[in-house]
Amino acid sequence: MKIEIVEVGPRDGFQSVKKFIPTELKKEIIDGLVQSGIKNIQVTSFVKAEAIPQLQDAAEIAKYSIEKYPDLVINALTANGRGIEYAIKAGVSEINYAISLSEIHNMLNTKRTHDQSFHELETMVDANQNVNFVLDIGTAFGYYNEQISLEDVMGFIKRGYDIGIRAFDICDSIGIADPGMVKKYITCILKEYKDCQFDVHIHDTRNMGIINTYTAIECGITRIQTTLGGLGGCPFAHGATGNTCTEDMVFLLHRMGYETGINFDKLLEISKYQFSRIKGNYSGHHVCINLDNVKKQ
């Protein structure tokens, strides 16, 4: 069975790094990811530079990636109509649009209510039929003391489905999920929406990123989001650490007999290179397995 890795390190991982990463270094890391065999990369996010200064070079990174790798899926994250416009102008044809189930988080992250976010998305979907939109459903498993139910998640999916969305990303934005929740949610979602693509995006705050992601795979998920070295974080998810680590996840999948199309040795090389260049400047949680020990196995 083939599992597709969507590498979101150049966006979610890099945005957790406090010191600006030189644009050329970002390009080198993206090159390394491609050379390792990764075919789907979220290279950046189109947001205001003052909101996330790290991503101020979004247009240049997107243009570079699209022109150099025309056969790959190069996508970007957006949170409003203006971001979508900039992404399209840069040539991005797969756009992740973020709306959080927690209206508190959605207001903090996008300065919009649910209705405003969905209205912008619907307008953009209608106007850009050649773009593949993916609805990122943030805080799908909860947001601190704010309770979110499976019914809430299903309602969000239906709302996106009704405006034409056929690809969704179920996000555990603060790392609060457990395998039982994941199994319950994913089983129900896949049963109800057989004509849609679903990703999972799991943060590793409580060291359950791998088991929760693997549980989703056992339920039928075939596309997962991870980050090189487990970097990641959100300025509005206090205490949440990084994402499920790409190296760890690929190691597990290969041991369990899954295909990823990724060269593990090359993936380790680019991970080592990344941390040798930006070590000490990131706030995300690096959960990568011991690279030297794995190399010897």
Distance CA 89, CA 104 (A): 30
Query: In this structure, are residues 284 and 241 in contact, taking their beta carbons and an 8 Å threshold?
Result: yes
pLDDT value for 280? 60
User: 């209510």: which residue's tokens?
Assistant: 113
Q: Is the pLDDT of residue 172 over 50?
A: yes
Kindly report the CA angle at 293 between 290 and 297, in degrees rounded to 5? 130
Q: What is the mean pLDDT of the chain?
A: 92
Q: What is the average pLDDT across 161-170?
A: 98
Give me the pLDDT at residue 291, please: 45
Q: Is pLDDT above 80 for 43?
A: yes
d(CA 272, CA 276): 6
Q: Verify whether residue 234 is a known catalytic residue.
A: yes
Residues 173-209 pLDDT 10s: 999 999 999 999 999 999 999 999 999 999 999 999 9
pLDDT: which is higher, 291 or 236: 236
pLDDT band for position 168 (cuts 50, 70, 90): very high
Residues forming a β-bridge with 137 = 99, 170
The pLDDT assigned to 241 comes to 74
Across 274-296, b (16+ Cβ under 10 Å) vs e yields bbeebeeebebbbbbeeeeeeee
CB 148 within 8 A of CB 141: yes
Report pLDDT for 145: 87
User: CA 255 to CA 253: how far, in whole Å?
Assistant: 5
- 194 alpha-carbon distance from chain centroid: 22
Compute how many other C-beta atoms are within 10 angstroms of the C-beta atom of residue 180: 10
Burial class (CB in 10 A: 0-12, 13-18, 19+), 158: exposed
For residue 230, the tally of other CB atoms under 10 A from its CB is: 28
Domains defined for the chain, CATH in brackets? 4-296 (3.20.20.70)
123-137: per-residue pLDDT in tens?
999 999 999 999 999
Gap between the Cα atoms of 157 and 197, Å rounded: 11
pLDDT at 233: 75
For residues 186 and 137, the answer to whether their CB atoms sit within 8 Å is no
Q: What is the 3-state secondary structure (H, E, C) of 240-282?
A: CCCECEHHHHHHHHHHCCCECCCCHHHHHHHHHHHHHHHCCCE
Higher pLDDT, 16 or 163: 163
Query: Is the pLDDT assigned to residue 289 strictly greater than 80?
Result: no
% the chain with pLDDT above 70: 92
Nearest 10 degrees: CA dihedral of 49, 54, 56, 57?
Answer: -170
Res 279 pLDDT > 90:
no
CB neighbours of residue 137 within 10 Å: 22
> 286 or 4: which carries more pLDDT confidence?
4
The DSSP output letter for 143 is: B
pLDDT greater than 70 at residue 45? yes
Give the pLDDT confidence score for residue 236 in this predicted structure: 63
When pLDDT is cut at 50, 70 and 90, the band that residue 88 belongs to is very high
> 171, 196, 219, 234: which is the annotated catalytic residue?
234
Structure tokens belonging to residue 192? 């109800």
Q: Tell which residue, 92, 99, 25, has the closest CA to residue 65.
A: 92
Residue 295: what pLDDT? 42
Q: Please tell me the predicted confidence (pLDDT) of residue 294.
A: 43
Q: What digits encode the pLDDT tens for the residues 91-146?
A: 999 999 999 999 999 999 899 999 999 999 999 999 999 999 999 999 999 999 88
What pLDDT sits at residue 103?
Answer: 93
Please state the pTM of the whole predicted model.
0.93
